[in-house]
Amino acid sequence: MTGADAGSDDGVGSPLESLVRETLEARDAVAFVHAGGRDDPAVRYCWTTLERGAVPEHGVVAVGFDGEEWMTHTSRDASAHPARTLGSQLAGRVETATLLTPPRIPHDAALYLENDGFVLASTDVIARARATKTPAERDRISTAQAAAGAGIRQAASLLANAAIDDGRLVVDGEELTPGRLRITIDEAVVSAGAFPAGNTVINPGPGHAPLSLGDGGTALRPGEPIVLETAPRGPGGYYGGLVRTLVVDGDGGRERRAHVGVTQSFQSARAMLTAGTESVTRIEADLEAEVRAFGFGESDEVETRVAGVGLEPRERPLEGGTEVEPGSVVRLESAVRVDDDGGWLRIADILVKGETGERPEVLPAPSRSLEPTAVLEE
């Protein structure tokens, strides 16, 4: 079975094929292979690239590319393990030499391929291919991001209509809790055609997880920043990623200064990415430096994160010296701790890195304002 050719309207197949072919030649390997279920992002990427439709819900998929032709096998197509079938097919086509596989190929699949006389060597070629996105992939991410925006706007509507009763936020006579706010966001995400995927968090703590399970039922309070984080998965399998901080009946102060610093940090990073290709480390450092320029010293907690977005909420370019190259779709986040009780001001958006001199595109999203009503006015 052959994959999408270079003239595909989708434009996804050609870059992957070219990169795999170059890697095979450089490593003196005869083919690239992989196997796994629908939860494996590398499997989903290859399957989507080859325009095979939806990844089978159950069983195993095996894919291979020998530099000329793609081969695919699934559990539903044969009684034998797909990797065994693929290994036998390859053995009849090429010499039993080196096969390149992702580092996390399942053990049983590796054994079937080795039993056919092949030597396996790991490669990050799929991760490198996924680091830049085609127009079709960007459209899928935009769809997920639109659903994220719908969720944030619905939460802002709830906050804008909240009353204050004895130092607590109340809506329709009931306390407004993080749990209720999370459900509101998730329901709006589903109505927009996406899946929350368990990634909606209110007031995330370290590691972007809820501070504690008990916090879901504690009433939210006026004047305190409320962080809304969501990263839904769209119908095409690609994720969005959005964070906003809203304050009901705020009185300015430290969170206003933090808000200015955080929003300006995005402008600085966007200018940096317009000028050329930069590493994740340098972009994160630039975001932090811009925030600290607004009066936050070394004793103040500032966090910044830059990571790719695609078939996973966080994927390559992900860390360290990895560069954000033209075509990359990345989530930028800046955050400042604004009180001693653990309150943070966080904002995150997704942007698309263009060619040098081209200003990165920020995917459409709700206002970054702290005011819930401002989010609804767009």
- Average of pLDDT values for 185-208? 90
Distance, CA of 213 to CA of 223 (rounded, Å): 23
Helix (H) or strand (E) holding 348: strand 344-352
Q: Quick check: 89 and 118 in contact, CB under 8 A?
A: no
- Average of pLDDT values for 117-136? 94
Residue 277 burial by Cβ neighbours in a 10 Å radius (0-12, 13-18, 19+):
middle
Instruction: Output DSSP code: residue 89.
Output: H
Q: What pLDDT is stored for residue 209 in this prediction?
A: 55
For each of the domains in the chain, give its residue range(s) and CATH number, in order of start.
13-130 (3.40.350.10), 135-376 (3.90.230.10)
| Preceding peptide of 317 cis, ω within 30° | yes
From first CA to last CA, the distance across the chain in angstroms is 48
Angle of helix 280-292 relative to helix 254-275, nearest 10 degrees, comes to 140
175-184 pLDDT, tens digit each? 999 999 999 9
Angle of helix 82-91 relative to helix 107-115, nearest 10 degrees, comes to 30
127: which 2 tokens? 């991760």
C-alpha distances in Å from residue 100, one per residue of 64, 69, 90, 104? 10, 15, 13, 12
Count, residues in the chain: 378
C-alpha distances in Å from residue 378, one per residue of 119, 149, 243, 292, 375? 58, 11, 17, 30, 6
Distance, CA of 230 to CA of 186 (rounded, Å): 8
Q: What pLDDT is stored for residue 9 in this prediction?
A: 38
81: which 2 tokens? 């393990």
- Checking if the pLDDT of 1 tops 60, the result is no
Read off φ and ψ for residue 257, nearest 5 degrees: -65, -40
- Average of pLDDT values for 238-243? 98
Helix (H) or strand (E) holding 122: strand 119-122
Q: Quick check: 305 and 288 in contact, CB under 8 A?
A: no
- Checking if the pLDDT of 169 tops 60, the result is yes
**How confident is residue 63, by pLDDT bands cut at 50, 70 and 90?**
very high
What type of residue is 248? V
Buried b (16+ CB within 10 A) or exposed e, 332-360: bbbbbbbeeeebbbbbbbbbbbeeeeeeb
What's the pTM value of the predicted model, to 2 decimals?
0.90
**Mean pLDDT over each residue of the chain, to the nearest integer:** 90
Helix (H) or strand (E) holding 159: helix 135-160
25-59 pLDDT, tens digit each? 999 999 999 999 988 999 999 988 887 777 888 88
Q: What pLDDT is stored for residue 2 in this prediction?
A: 36
The residue whose two tokens read 């130092």 is 167
CB neighbours of residue 193 within 10 Å? 14
Cα torsion for 29, 30, 35, 39, to the nearest 10°? 60
